[in-house]
Amino acid sequence: MNSEAHTSAHMAARLSLALVHYPVKGRQGETMASAITNLDLHDIARAAKTYGVNRFYVVTPLEDQKALAGKIVSHWQNGAGSVYNPHRGRALDLVSVFSDIGEAVSEIAARGHASVKIVATSAVPHRRSTGFSEFKKILENPGNEGVGFLLALGTAWGLADEFIEAADYVLAPIYGQNDYNHLSVRSAAAIMLDRLFGDARGATI
Amino acid sequence: MNSEAHTSAHMAARLSLALVHYPVKGRQGETMASAITNLDLHDIARAAKTYGVNRFYVVTPLEDQKALAGKIVSHWQNGAGSVYNPHRGRALDLVSVFSDIGEAVSEIAARGHASVKIVATSAVPHRRSTGFSEFKKILENPGNEGVGFLLALGTAWGLADEFIEAADYVLAPIYGQNDYNHLSVRSAAAIMLDRLFGDARGATI
């Protein structure tokens, strides 16, 4: 492992993901609680495991939704799924289900981080948007060595404005080739992790 | 739009995607036909639209599965889905359902390409693996101006070996930070398109 790869692995290990189901925006921009989507948990856990992220928090205040998320995870960790496909369990081991983002922040702090910074994501530009290269520099900054970063992804029509306003950073939107910016949260999470922690951009195979 | 962005959009427009349900590998490595997954169509169509890809072919020889794929697409193009979320229809407009990869190749040729090259993908390295940077150079090569490229993604446990052997190119696996290489096909498609056609790697917001 070269030193760039080492740095990148070290940075990934200081970052956790949160998939937020409340507060998020509904179709008309109203603040709502969304339902758990089975494949969100699978896809994002698999991407988190691939890129060496520390933890993946599923955030929902709804008791039945917390129970559903717990059931999905344990099916693949200990149930029939663990026999059918053990790789899924390894990814879903990263998941913890919490009622709100504050519980995730507390858990990160309890694991020895001096402070925790929340990084909101959005499909539209924000006056405080931080580009991917700039955010990598923040992660690499020796002054941030003790900081745990929590990258928050919104379900439904995205994180509620009040959540974004309260965040420490807002990561820039992902742009492709045009104005169509309707990636799924699963795709967006995968692309973000690849931009931040992917190998040397395919320079070598 | 700067010239780099222009080139990139031009390259994306010469590339189409194929999501292959046969021939793919089963859990034991056997060649099988897999079932359509609703969210594969949605997520990959949305990523294809975001990155300006030409077409998205869903390939399955099973009649009931072709009908299911057609139903998913038309629900969002003309049905109740088109009212609920018109952005989905714009993405799913890219989809055509075909029985085999040859039909997709014929359609690309019929749209005026002098030749069509099939690019297989795989989660494991292949003796002919082409890295992402190298493949970008192939796309940019003026000698390939008339070539339509078809990037084939495998469902289930990946494209069957005979499909990979017959392909013109084999794109390198996506590496993250470790040996865990079990991304979903939805995540892998999104990351591949971002590596090939994403904006200037977040250098600017």
Q: What pLDDT sits at residue A5?
A: 57
8-state DSSP, B169: E
Which letter does DSSP use for residue B202 in this model?
Answer: T
Output the furthest CA–CA distance in chain B (Å, rounded).
48
What mean pLDDT comes out for the span A67-95? 92
| DSSP codes, A121-147 | E-SS--TTEE-HHHHHHHHH-GGGTTE
Chain A residues whose CB is inside 8 A of the B198 CB are: 174-176, 191, 195
Q: Does B65 touch chain A (CB under 8 A)?
A: no
Q: Pick the residue from chain B with its C-alpha nearest to A200.
A: B175
Segment A34-40 long-range contacts (CB within 8 Å, at least 24 positions apart): A34/A155, A34/A156, A35/A65, A36/A60, A36/A65, A36/A68, A36/A69, A36/A72, A37/A155, A38/A72, A39/A186, A39/B39, A39/B184, A39/B186, A40/A155, A40/A185, A40/A186
Q: Do A204 and B131 touch (CB under 8 A)?
A: yes
Going by pLDDT thresholds of 50, 70 and 90, the confidence category of residue B4 is low
- How far, in Å, CA of B105 to CA of B117, rounded? 8
Determine contact, residues A171/A132, Cβ cutoff 8 Å: yes
CA distance B126 to chain A (A): 10
CA distance B200 to chain A (A): 9
C-alpha atoms less than 13 angstroms from C-alpha of A36 in its C-beta half-sphere: 25
Instruction: Check residue B9 and give its pLDDT.
Output: 85
For the CA atoms of B156, B158, B161, B162, the dihedral, rounded to the nearest 10 degrees, stands at 70
- CA A89-A92-A98 angle, 5° bins: 145
- Confidence tier at A177 by pLDDT (50, 70, 90): confident
| Most distant pair of Cα atoms in chain A: their distance | 48
Closest CA in chain A for residue B177: A51
Give A109→chain B minimum CA distance, Å: 24
| pLDDT-based confidence at residue A174 (cuts at 50, 70, 90) | very high
A13-49 as b/e: b if 16+ CB within 10 A: ebbbbbbbbbbbbeeeeeebbbebbebbbbbbbbbbb
Amino acid letter, B116: V
**B residues 161-190 closer than 8 Å to A (CB):** 172, 174-178, 180-184, 186-190
- Would you give the distance in Å from CA B65 to the centre of its chain? 18
Q: What is the token pair recorded at A125? A: 């530009």
* pTM for this prediction: 0.94
DSSP bridge partners of B95: B56
B54 touches B135 (CB < 8 A): no
Q: Write out pLDDT tens, residues A38-76.
A: 999 999 999 999 999 999 999 999 999 999 999 999 999
pLDDT of residue B92: 94
Nearest one of A111, A5, A112, A102 to A51, comparing CA atoms? A5
Provide the percentage of residues in chain B whose pLDDT is more than 70.
94
Q: In this complex, is the C-beta atom of A52 within 8 Å of any C-beta atom belonging to chain B?
A: yes
Using pLDDT thresholds of 50, 70 and 90, give the confidence band for residue A204: very low
Confidence of residue A154 (pLDDT cuts 50, 70, 90): very high
Q: Name the residue facing B205 among A172, A199, A204 (closest C-beta).
A: A172
Nearest CA-CA distance, residue B196 and chain A, Å = 10
In the structure encoding, which two tokens stand for residue B17, read together?
């995607």
| Three-state secondary structure call for residue A179 | coil
Q: Is A90 touching B (CB cutoff 8 A)?
A: yes
Residue A6 pLDDT exceeds 90 = no
Answer whether A204 touches B (CB < 8 Å): yes
**Residue recorded with tokens 């070996």:** B161
Whether residue A201 is predicted with pLDDT greater than 50 in this model: the reply is no
Cβ–Cβ contact B124 with A under 8 A:
no
Identify the pLDDT of residue B5: 57
ipTM: 0.94
Contact A197 B177 (CB under 8 A): yes
Does the beta-carbon distance from B130 to A8 stay under 8 Å? no
Provide, as residue numbers in chain A, all residues whose Cβ is less than 8 Å from the Cβ of B84.
27
The DSSP secondary-structure symbol of A159 reads: B
Nearest by CB: B8 against A177, A187, A198: A177
Q: Is the pLDDT of residue A3 over 70?
A: no
So what's the pLDDT on residue B143? 94
Nearest CA in chain A to B185: A43
Contact (CB<8Å) B177/A52: yes
Would the pLDDT of A205 be above 60?
no
- Number of A:B CB contacts under 8 A? 178
Cα–Cα distance, B11 to B145 (Å, whole number): 9
- Which pLDDT tens digit goes with each residue over B7-43? 788 899 999 999 999 999 999 999 999 999 999 999 9
Reply yes or no on whether the pLDDT at B180 is more than 50: yes
- pLDDT classification of A7: cutoffs 50, 70, 90: confident
Place of tokens 């931009």: A195
Instruction: Measure in Å the smallest separation between the Cα of B38 and chain A Cα atoms.
Output: 11
B78 touching A (Cβ < 8 Å): no
pLDDT for res B203: 41
Is residue B202 pLDDT above 70, yes or no? Answer: no
Average of per-residue pLDDT values in chain B: 92
Q: Which of B16, B189, B1 is nearest to B110 (CA)?
A: B16
